[in-house]
Amino acid sequence: MNLIEELAWRGLIQDITPETEEQLNKELTSGYVGFDPTADSLHIGNLVPIMLLTHLQRSGHKPFALIGGATGRVGDPSGKTQERQLLTTEIIEHNLASQKKQLEQFLKFGDGPTDAEIVNNYEWFKKFTFLDFIRDVGKHITINYMMSKDSVKNRLESGMSFTEFSYQLIQGYDFYYLNKEKNIKLQMGGSDQWGNITTGIELTRRMGGGDTFAITAPLVKKADGTKFGKSEGGNVWLDAEKTSPYKFYQFWLNATDEDIENFIKVFSLLSRSDIEKLIAAHVEAPHLRLLQRTLAEELTLRIHGAHALEMAIEASSILFGNATAENLKKLSERDFLDVFQGVEQVEVARSLIEAGVDIVEMLSEISGFLSSKSEARRSLKENAISVNKDKVGEDYKVSASDLISDAYILLQRGKKKYFVVRAV
């Protein structure tokens, strides 16, 4: 596989240094991407650099993931309007360990020539004194060169500390060190990293290192101008504890038709021919949401596994399919609450439910779901009432056997009006 052709077709090349393609075609090349340890999980915004490493490995080259144990203590000013809050060593170490586990889900690690490796720049910075750094490294890059970078120019009016100003020099030294010690010739990242990456290339050249090359990918944007990777609740995380597999699945399933053709090229590992066939089929019948379902299933499977995907599909069918009480009771409490997030909820004494409650009483006076007993009886006669997705009649009694996750009962009128009772 020609890496540059593959990345270009997928829309994953923004900037590229001269002779990069020639280098990749000439020999097995090691390349790296840096990851910021400011959180204990990566999010879907990190998927673009992860995909760069994935395609690098699939094309027969060796990927390195650099975890910024040192640079994470400083903070990258690129795209930022203010300086970040510095984290403690303990927090950073915890975040590094968590991110490492996630990267192992995407890349093949081992001892082979193209197996991935993880490196932590704290390992080579922890013994580097400040005086040694400014003497041995800082002298090679001029202030004028550093001031020309967008990450600096964009902050001149609001102000920038020396800490942030030095960031590009520290990241630049990473490239020099990895080139010298591990023969890494390629650095990749998002387009906002171009300035930092080229500082590394220049520093390596001035310090007498070997050949270096760079590729950056465009920052993924949504067609409506909103930021990619954000949902109403904030970041969409790869950690199932921060973003449930159901919500992760739903994020991709709800992508617009304007966005999904771009997303599937960027984030799917399907071949070009398979993706082009899917796009053609999607254009013919967009209401089937073939591209959205394909990408949602592929990414949920890769990140969360087969069981989580099965549960995410099951949960999605609750609202939009012909689900039953059996389907509902398979849901975990978290998935149930995610599915019915925003649905009105009321607390009812558990003892009352365990004793058995007449459905008319539950619908009206006890829960307040319907305004009166007469409205409840009328809805029941119209066969419009369901308990946990199963239709019920006037003689039905709500009991403890109806509890989902031993806590919830789902009441429904018609197809779209839901109400949740929580036993307390």
Q: How many helices (H) and strands (E) does the chain have?
A: 21, 15
Q: Is 167 annotated as a binding residue?
A: yes
Q: Is residue 80 a part of any domain in this protein?
A: yes
Q: Are residues 411 and 359 in the same domain?
A: yes
Q: Is 249 annotated as a binding residue?
A: no
Domain count, the chain: 3
Same domain, 242 and 99: no
Domain boundary among 259, 287, 321: 321
Cβ atoms < 10 Å from Cβ of 392: 19
Q: Are 236 and 248 in contact, with CB atoms under 8 Å apart?
A: yes
Distance of CA 104 to the CA centre of its chain: 15
Report the 3 state secondary structure along 196-212. Answer: HHHHHHHHHHHCCCCCC
Domain identity same for 354 and 251: no
How does DSSP classify residue 263?
Answer: H
Show the DSSP H helices in 18-140 as ranges: 20-26, 47-58, 89-103, 122-125, 130-136
Residues 64 and 100 in one domain: yes
Place of tokens 């490995």: 57
Q: Please, is 39 exposed, middle or buried when counting C-beta atoms within 10 Å of its C-beta (0-12, 13-18, 19+)?
A: middle
- 245-253 vs 306-320: helix crossing angle, rounded to 10: 60
Q: Does the residue 384 lie in any domain?
A: yes
Residue 171 annotated as lining a ligand binding site: yes
Whether residue 162 sits in one domain with residue 75 = yes
Structural domain of 168: 3-217
For residue 221, the 8-state DSSP code is B
pLDDT of residue 77: 56
* Domain boundary, last residue among 188, 217, 246: 217
The CATH number of the domain holding residue 86 is 3.40.50.620
> Is 168 annotated for ligand binding?
no
The answer as to whether 327 is a domain residue is no
Identify the three-state secondary structure at position 72.
Answer: helix
Which of 191, 217, 243 is where one domain is finished?
217
Question: Does 328 reside within a domain?
Answer: no
Same domain flag for 210 and 257: no
Q: Is 62 among the domain residues? A: yes
Mean pLDDT by 10 residues, the chain (424 residues): 94 96 96 89 93 97 91 62 63 84 88 93 90 89 80 75 83 95 97 92 94 95 75 80 90 93 96 96 94 96 92 80 76 85 87 90 90 92 91 91 90 88 90
Q: Which helix (H) or strand (E) holds 353?
A: helix 350-355
- Whole-model pTM above 0.85? no
* Residues 417, 316 within the same domain: no
Provide the pairing of β-strand 385-387 with 390-391.
Answer: antiparallel
In whole angstroms, give the CA distance from residue 73 to residue 80: 16
pLDDT for the residue 231? 59
* Residue 62 bridge partners (DSSP): 30
Q: Six-digit token pair at 213?
A: 């090359």
Tell me, yes or no, whether 338 lies in a domain.
no
Q: Give the integer Cα–Cα distance in Å for 334 and 244.
A: 8
**CA–CA separation, 383 and 409 (whole Å):** 18
Q: Are residues 209 and 317 in the same domain?
A: no
Q: Would 222 be classed as within a structural domain?
A: no
Residues 278 and 413 placed together within one structural domain of the fold: no
Q: Are residues 245 and 152 in the same domain?
A: no
Same domain? For 112 and 167 the reply is yes
Best CA proximity match to 261, nearest among 276, 242, 241: 276
Sign of CA dihedral 281, 283, 289, 293: positive
Please report whether residue 339 resides in a domain.
Answer: no
Residues 312, 300: contact at Cβ < 8 Å?
Answer: yes
CATH number for the domain including 358? 3.10.290.10
Domain match, 25 and 62 both: yes
